[in-house]
Amino acid sequence: MLPLLLLSSLVSLSVAVPLQPRTVKWAPCGDIKLNTTWTYECGTLNVPLDYGSASKRTLNSTSTIDLQLVRIPAAEQPSKGSVFFNFGGPGFPARNTLVGSGAKFLAATGGEYDLVTFDPRGTGNTIPFNCTSDPTELFSLSDGFTIGTVSEIDGSNFAHAKHVASICAAYHQDIGPFIGTSDFVNDLISAVDAIEDDKMLRFWGISYGTTVGATVAAMYPERIDRIVLDAVQNIHDYYNSPATYQQWEGSDKTFSGIWSTCFDAGPELCPLSASFDNATELENAVWDLAESLKQHPINAGANESVIVDYPKMRSFFAQNLYRTGGWPGAAAIIQLLLEGETGDDLVAILDPIFTNSPTEGLPEAVASAALLGIQCSDAKSRSDTLEELQPALDRLRNTSRVMGDMSSLTAMSCATWKFDNKYRYDGGWANLTTHHPMMLVANTYDGHTPPQSAYNTSAVFEDSVVLEINGYGHSSANLVSKCATQHLATYFVNGTLPEPHTLCQVDLLPYHPVPSA
């Protein structure tokens, strides 16, 4: 079950206000309170709500919005400029993520650049995409989807998707057509114009951020000084297909890796492995456990208040495709459930997916609502009936047991969506040449963006190169590889690309403890 909407928040939309000068004044952040050993500062940039022509970026509206930017200055000043970041989603705010991960990204960009990001349209305080201002309605709409494979569930989910689409369209007539990827790209270029002396873009996009990166490289190829696409989406599926099929081609293999690497680590590091003869037997037991929850959810805790059910377990599976750091905890949870241990020991280690109240789950609701507003307005494909969409749903389920049902909910929502991004990029995806060649990064076992998507995108951009990392996890940010970090830093500092077919190894295996500093 996926949360789809978020509570109302302030919309930074003003009307009949002239554009401010394209400068950013940096000052201490008033709304970010993270305790870090690196400095960070905030600023605001005023931009048009409606840029007019996406290619000409002409002012077509007197309405403007404020972009709230955050910057981590390079240790050595003056810096060589800024590297801009987007961490994916779509629908995820970006500022806190950058501030919280400053050390990692300062190192991976060579330490000579300032790091900058802002929350994309539809997220955070940047004209948030809410669909409702009523928390009761939010919870009701969030509970309307069900994870499952039978036709009756598809029918119910498709009807609910139509309901959600209608509510969102009615609530967001003003901003709905202006929160798509091309609008974010134009905001990005506006920020470059305001901050960078050379007016050139240096960008690192992760997951959906790679679609942002591919789109800005296609729309403004002459503005690209450095660009890294990390955990690459299939841009053809994203814009043109009824569903993001290729995105899930590596999901089942990565899910199997949770259990095979448990056996590789051995009982000392993964005690669950001691109860089974091999990884296949263990994975089958995990799936049998999940299937049993359809008819027999498990009550846990002293007062049996925590319910472990099938939809929550499937969400738990999907979440664990992102990063190996959570695998020891996941294995411990599965071990207790398989052993029938449902007391406080289980509750103490259960993932928040199982224990969160609706209010505690609001961050996920925020991301889900914004995801629909951005991705569905970008997508071209629409379906009037479930029968018309059914081949796409069947293909998703045939692609991945882990993610097929989960991703079908987004496909249904986008199929029934009521508005399009006004300036959706449609300039073609072939034989594109950027000012400086692009670097793409792919993990061999990425459950959300398989390596093939990186190679497909690389084929679009002349002279681009894919760096592959032989490890598990979603993006280079979710594993440890000194080799990859060095290649990234060399690219940002010197512009030097890895040799084609370069394969980096990881320095930390799943289930192994992080070495002490």
Q: Flag whether pLDDT at 88 surpasses 50.
A: yes
Answer whether residue 301 is part of any domain.
Answer: yes
Name the helix (H) or strand (E) containing 472: strand 465-472
Using alpha carbons, select from 171, 148, 173 the residue that is nearest to residue 158: 148
Q: Which residues pair with 13 in a beta bridge?
A: 65
Question: What is the C-alpha to C-alpha distance for residues 14 and 12, in angstroms, rounded to an integer?
Answer: 7
Q: Flag whether pLDDT at 366 surpasses 60.
A: no
Q: Flag whether pLDDT at 247 surpasses 50.
A: yes
Q: Flag whether pLDDT at 280 surpasses 60.
A: yes
Question: What is the C-alpha to C-alpha distance for residues 279 and 328, in angstroms, rounded to an integer?
Answer: 15
Bridge pairing between strands 82-86 and 114-118: parallel
- Banded model confidence at residue 76, pLDDT cuts 50, 70, 90: confident
pLDDT tens-digit map of 252-275: 999 999 999 999 999 999 999 999
How many structural domains compose the chain?
Answer: 1
Answer whether residue 268 is part of any domain.
Answer: yes
Mean pLDDT over residues 47-53, rounded?
87
Answer whether residue 61 is part of any domain.
Answer: no
Q: Which residues pair with 41 in a beta bridge?
A: 71
Q: Which residues pair with 466 in a beta bridge?
A: 440
Question: What is the C-alpha to C-alpha distance for residues 122 and 129, in angstroms, rounded to an integer?
Answer: 5
What amino acid occupies position 58? T
Q: 348-369: string of b/e by CB count within 10 Å (b at 16+)?
A: eebbebbbeeeeebbebbbbbb
- Banded model confidence at residue 305, pLDDT cuts 50, 70, 90: confident
pLDDT of residue 360: 58
Question: What is the C-alpha to C-alpha distance for residues 294 and 272, in angstroms, rounded to an integer?
Answer: 23
Is it true that the peptide bond before 498 is cis, omega within 30 degrees of 0?
Answer: no
Planar angle of CA 142, 93, 483, nearest 5 degrees: 120
Q: Flag whether pLDDT at 135 surpasses 70.
A: no
- Banded model confidence at residue 293, pLDDT cuts 50, 70, 90: very high
- The DSSP secondary structure of 429-459, one letter per residue, reads SSSB--SS--EEEEEEE-SSS-HHHHHHHHT
- Banded model confidence at residue 21, pLDDT cuts 50, 70, 90: very low
- Range of the structural domain that residue 256 is part of: 251-355
Q: pLDDT: is 37 or 203 the higher one?
A: 203
Say if residues 215 and 182 touch (Cβ distance below 8 Å). yes
Q: Flag whether pLDDT at 92 surpasses 90.
A: no
pTM: 0.92
Residues 6+ positions from 212 with CB-CB distance below 8 Å: 86, 120, 181, 184, 185, 188, 203, 205
pLDDT of residue 162: 95
Answer whether residue 332 is part of any domain.
Answer: yes
pLDDT of residue 364: 62
Q: pLDDT: is 402 or 89 the higher one?
A: 402
Distances in Å between the Cα of 427 and the Cα atoms of 244, 294, 423, 443 are: 20, 46, 11, 29
Answer whether residue 10 is part of any domain.
Answer: no
- The DSSP secondary structure of 39-77, one letter per residue, reads --EEEEEEEES--SSTTTT----S-EEEEEEEEE--SSS
pLDDT of residue 138: 64
pLDDT of residue 7: 26
Give the whole-number percent of the chain exceeding pLDDT 90. Answer: 79
Q: Flag whether pLDDT at 456 surpasses 90.
A: yes
pLDDT tens-digit map of 394-444: 999 999 999 999 999 999 999 999 999 999 999 889 999 999 999 999 999
Q: Flag whether pLDDT at 9 surpasses 70.
A: no
pLDDT of residue 388: 97
- Banded model confidence at residue 6, pLDDT cuts 50, 70, 90: very low
Q: Flag whether pLDDT at 286 surpasses 70.
A: yes
- Banded model confidence at residue 87, pLDDT cuts 50, 70, 90: very high
Answer whether residue 339 is part of any domain.
Answer: yes
Question: What is the C-alpha to C-alpha distance for residues 241 and 378, in angstroms, rounded to an integer?
Answer: 11
- Banded model confidence at residue 353, pLDDT cuts 50, 70, 90: confident
Distances in Å between the Cα of 55 and the Cα atoms of 174, 189, 211, 271 are: 22, 11, 17, 57
Question: What is the C-alpha to C-alpha distance for residues 413 and 465, in angstroms, rounded to an integer?
Answer: 35
pLDDT of residue 132: 83
- The DSSP secondary structure of 351-402, one letter per residue, reads -HHHH--TTTTHHHHHHHHHHIIIIIHH-----SSHHHHHHHHHHHHHH-TT
What amino acid occupies position 105? F
Give the whole-number percent of the chain exceeding pLDDT 70. Answer: 90
Answer whether residue 244 is part of any domain.
Answer: no
Poorest-pLDDT segment among 77-91, 136-150, 265-279, 413-427? 136-150
Q: Flag whether pLDDT at 367 surpasses 90.
A: no
Q: Flag whether pLDDT at 282 surpasses 90.
A: yes
Question: What is the C-alpha to C-alpha distance for residues 210 and 130, in angstroms, rounded to an integer?
Answer: 24
Answer whether residue 276 is part of any domain.
Answer: yes
pLDDT of residue 137: 72
pLDDT of residue 324: 97
Mean pLDDT over residues 64-70, rounded?
95
Question: What is the C-alpha to C-alpha distance for residues 339 and 317, in angstroms, rounded to an integer?
Answer: 19
Mean pLDDT of the residues in the chain: 90
Mean pLDDT over residues 338-366, rounded?
78
Orientation of helix 151-171 relative to helix 404-415, angle to 10°: 40
pLDDT of residue 52: 85
- Banded model confidence at residue 517, pLDDT cuts 50, 70, 90: low
Question: What is the C-alpha to C-alpha distance for residues 32 and 271, in angstroms, rounded to an integer?
Answer: 40
Mean pLDDT over residues 20-26, rounded?
72
Q: Flag whether pLDDT at 5 surpasses 50.
A: no
Poorest-pLDDT segment among 28-32, 49-53, 175-179, 395-399? 49-53
